[in-house]
């Protein structure tokens, strides 16, 4: 398959070099109405401009390439590909079907082959969920490309992630097979008159209805929305990992799972990381924390794949240390 049908990056933009100039440019662009509707404030626009500058992407192209997902800047797979090509690298899609994706990345003097298969998606609790159920091949390609490109070309991409790696529900796939980030609708704002009178936004009644149950109480989120079977499955997995309730609460940052307000995908990811460290690598909670540089898994901003890679690296380092100590003892 060809790797040439991707957008190329051109370094033609003049970007301001002072904070005042940057904010003025950002405010002007937001006010113009030409930016994607997800970019609503000068601060958000400035963050994207700065991220683009670090990656060598001109401002106007950065607005089409960089997305803020859950507070983190991300970049589309298509623009990751463009950056590699501009840096003189190439890639070949060796396999892309319902079983998985295999891509070989190439640069002068070296090559690297990366795969992301159906079984990897199943282990990560991605297979069959939301966008993955609708576009499994595209999502496997995105995962394979982004993870492989980061490992092969950290000098070009750094630690940039794609939107679907941060939030699998943040993207869909268009008719051309391109990843499209789903933008949440902008919340209503008060008019000057409403602010003076202390009145709520125009559609606050509609929003409060959606955000409350029939009795007027806040709508349930997180753990409160899980079915009984989901809750039982969660605790069964925790018991399998020999985690006490105190351990679980610490890993999820709550005093009780009833207080957990995250998504089921996030909960699955945390359990998957714990399972990998405890069952697959046998390093225990302390080892997982040391590998991730945190004292609870929920504090890590790594994807499941990167967390597993960090755990592998830490575990191998410990094995090497033990081996060296044994040799010294002899």
Q: Is 289 exposed, middle or buried (0-12, 13-18, 19+ CB in 10 A)?
A: buried
Is the pLDDT score of 202 beyond 60?
no
- 154 or 204, greater pLDDT: 154
Is the pLDDT score of 117 beyond 60?
yes
In the 3-class helix/strand/coil scheme, how is 247-304 assigned residue by residue?
HHHHHHCCCCHHHCCCCHHHHHHHHHHHHHHHHHCCCHHHHHHHHHCCCCHHHCCCCH
Contact in structure between 96 and 77 (CB atoms under 8 Å): no
Is the pLDDT score of 128 beyond 90?
no
Mean pLDDT value of segment 218-234: 74
Is the pLDDT score of 102 beyond 80?
yes
Is the pLDDT score of 53 beyond 50?
yes
Residue 90 CA to residue 314 CA, distance in Å, equals: 31
| pLDDT at residue 182, as a whole number | 56
Instruction: Give the DSSP H or E segment for 29.
Output: helix 19-32
- 318 or 83, greater pLDDT: 83
Mean pLDDT value of segment 35-63: 84
Tokens 């008019």: give the residue: 191
Is the pLDDT score of 14 beyond 90?
no
What residues contact residue 79 under an 8 Å CB cut-off, 6+ apart? 6, 7, 9, 57, 65, 66
What does pLDDT average to over the chain? 78
Is the pLDDT score of 26 beyond 60?
yes
CA atoms within 13 A on the CB side of 125: 16
CA atoms within 13 A on the CB side of 102: 4
């Amino acid at each position: 398959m060809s790797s040439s049908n991707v957008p190329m990056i051109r370094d033609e933009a003049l970007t301001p070099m002072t904070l005042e100039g940057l904010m003025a440019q950002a405010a002007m662009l937001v006010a113009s109405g030409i930016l994607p509707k997800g970019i609503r404030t000068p601060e958000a626009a400035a963050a994207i401009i700065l991220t683009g500058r670090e990656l060598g992407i001109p401002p106007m192209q950065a607005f089409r390439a960089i997305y803020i997902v859950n507070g983190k800047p991300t970049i589309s797979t298509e623009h990751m590909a463009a950056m590699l090509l501009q840096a003189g690298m190439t890639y070949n899609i060796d396999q892309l079907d319902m079983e998985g994706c295999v891509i070989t990345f190439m640069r002068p003097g070296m090559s690297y082959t990366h795969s992301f298969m159906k079984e990897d998606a199943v282990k990560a609790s991605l297979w069959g969920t939301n966008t993955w159920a609708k576009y499994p091949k595209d999502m496997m390609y995105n995962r394979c490309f982004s993870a492989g490109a980061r490992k092969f070309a950290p000098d070009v991409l750094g630690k940039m992630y794609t939107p679907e790696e941060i939030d699998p529900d943040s993207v869909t796939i268009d008719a051309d097979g391109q990843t499209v980030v789903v933008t949440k609708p902008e919340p209503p704002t008060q008019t000057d008159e409403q602010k003076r009178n202390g009145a709520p936004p125009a559609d606050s009644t509609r929003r409060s209805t959606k955000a409350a149950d029939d009795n007027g109480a806040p709508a349930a989120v997180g753990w409160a929305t899980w079915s009984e079977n989901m809750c039982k499955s969660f605790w069964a997995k925790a018991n399998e990992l020999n985690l006490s309730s105190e351990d679980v609460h610490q890993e999820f940052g709550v005093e009780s799972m009833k207080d957990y307000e995250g998504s089921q995908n996030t909960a699955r990811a945390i359990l998957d990381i714990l399972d990998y460290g405890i069952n697959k690598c046998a390093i225990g909670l302390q080892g997982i924390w040391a590998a991730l540089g945190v004292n609870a898994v929920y504090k890590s901003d790594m994807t499941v794949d990167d967390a597993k890679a960090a755990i592998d690296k830490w575990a191998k380092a410990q094995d090497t240390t033990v081996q060296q100590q044994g040799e010294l003892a002899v």
